[in-house]
Amino acid sequence: MQEPQVPDSANGIGQSVRHFFQRKGLHLGIGALLVLGYYASLPGHLWQASPAYQIAPVPQRAASAAPTDGAVAVPLPLSVRDGHSPSWVNLTAGRLQAFWQDQGALHTAVYTPAGGEQEHGHWSDVETLPAHVHGGSEGLARGVVLVSDGNDQLNIYSVQGGATAALTLAVQDGTQWHMHTGPLLSPLPGQRVSLAGPVARKTDGSLAMLARRGERLVWLRVSAEQGRPYIAGQQRLPDEQNAGTAILLANSGDSALQWLTPAAQPGPLLWSGTADRGERWSVPQPLTAAGAVAPGNSLATLRLAAGDWGLAVVSEGGAVQWYRGQDAGQRWSTPVTLSDRGGQCRRPDGEPTGAPALTLAADGMVHLLYADAGCRLRHQIFSAAWTGESS
């Protein structure tokens, strides 16, 4: 092939371009670019296993203690007629921060357990978070995920942006909030996307949180870089389209369980397991010990030890029941009714609300937050070892 002539006009440039296109160098160059594209589309450059689940040490408490109302003073119980999904965030020094939604706002109060000169635990005054940190009532309707960074600073993940649903992170800095807009959450405009907690932490600092896109449920692995959230991975749920919601419960670094509640009608509680950090899940099977449970947000879970789990389930009749599973689900305790106040709290549109929230405090006591049939928020404290025989 001849070398191109030095161009002296537009046609000369055209000649040289044509010759360049015909040269083998271009062919090899584009081949090299394809290899570059391969590496560019592969952030890890090589196959990488999903990071392991982070397992926090579980405080133990041997004594068996029956549920007691934790609210010895204001603010609980409170009416949450329009609210949903109370949740807990564990703070330092054994304190617990409760969140609940009502009237399109996100409220919070901090519970300080008994200790020292305090004979009883006590609640702080109720605060209402600024609307922009969660996107107001629209953002709350799409769900928020609340995480503490370990220094009592709150991180709030929400879905904001109308039809272009984007993952948004609000980072608390004292009394200030820093807002960071992350990636789009759906490939299609206008598709409804929502988030749900609680999250499972991974060893690389990422969080596994539930997202619903239309009828599909997926586990998003969310990380943040310089405050800006990004999605590091995604895993599908088995039988996702028949699930009202799902909760991920890490059992060890490699294994986890996911619990699926029925979507529309009362039905069995399903569970499946993974032993490879979520790459593959077993076929969901019903937890026969639980019987029929209420649809939607009707479940809270707790890891008490490896292969030892606690479940708070809203039964078909609306009672909150406590189950203890041991030997990796081989043995289940007889359910203990924590609250039987005559049914589930319902919003004016008839949708059930008031899903329970569980957490394990530093003193080993289990704290339950739920809305009773009268839509009043209630707080109960009991020992995980409680079998229902004491009162």
Partner 1 sequence: MMTLHLWVSLVLATLVYAALASALLAVLFPAQTPASRWSVVAVVAAVVAALMALPGQTAALAAWAGFGRFSMTSGLLALLYLLHPLFLSRPGWRHMALPDGQRRMLIFGVIVAGLVLYPAALGMALPGTATMDIQGSGFGDFRLATILLCLGLALWVLRAYHLCLLLVAAQCAFALQLLPSGNLWDYLIDPWLWLGGMLTVVVALVRPGKAAGPVPSSRA
b/e for 296-314, b at 16 or more Cβ within 10 A? bbbbbbbbbeebbbbbbbb
In the complex, least distance from residue 380 CB atom to partner 1, rounded to whole angstroms: 38
Reduced to 3 states (helix: H, G, I; strand: E, B; else coil), residue 140 is helix
Stretch that binds partner 1, among 59-67, 83-91, 186-194, 332-340 (CB under 8 A): 186-194
Cβ-based nearer residue to partner 1, 270 or 312: 270
By CB under 8 A, residue 241 contacts partner 1: yes
Q: Footprint of partner 1 on residues 126-165 (CB under 8 A)?
A: 161-164
d(CA 181, CA 241): 28
At 125, the amino acid letter reads D
Q: Which of 5, 18, 56, 153 binds partner 1 (CB under 8 A)?
A: 18
Q: Which of 207, 232, 270, 287 binds partner 1 (CB under 8 A)?
A: 232
By CB under 8 A, residue 30 contacts partner 1: yes
In the complex, least distance from residue 187 CB atom to partner 1, rounded to whole angstroms: 5
Residue 84 has a CB neighbour count (10 Å cut-off) of: 22
Q: Which of 1, 2, 6, 44 binds partner 1 (CB under 8 A)?
A: 44
By CB under 8 A, residue 27 contacts partner 1: yes
DSSP secondary structure letters along 360-380? E-TTSEEEEEEE-TT-BEEEE
| 333-to-310, 322, 329, 385 alpha-carbon distances in Å | 10, 9, 10, 11
Q: Which of 97, 235, 321, 383 binds partner 1 (CB under 8 A)?
A: 235
In the complex, least distance from residue 252 CB atom to partner 1, rounded to whole angstroms: 24
d(CA 236, CA 219): 6
d(CA 122, CA 70): 8
d(CA 16, CA 14): 5
Q: Which of 5, 153, 191, 285 binds partner 1 (CB under 8 A)?
A: 191
By CB under 8 A, residue 178 contacts partner 1: no
Contact residues for partner 1, defined by CB under 8 A: 10-11, 13-18, 21, 26-27, 30-31, 33-44, 46-47, 161-164, 166, 181-184, 186-191, 213-216, 218, 230-236, 241
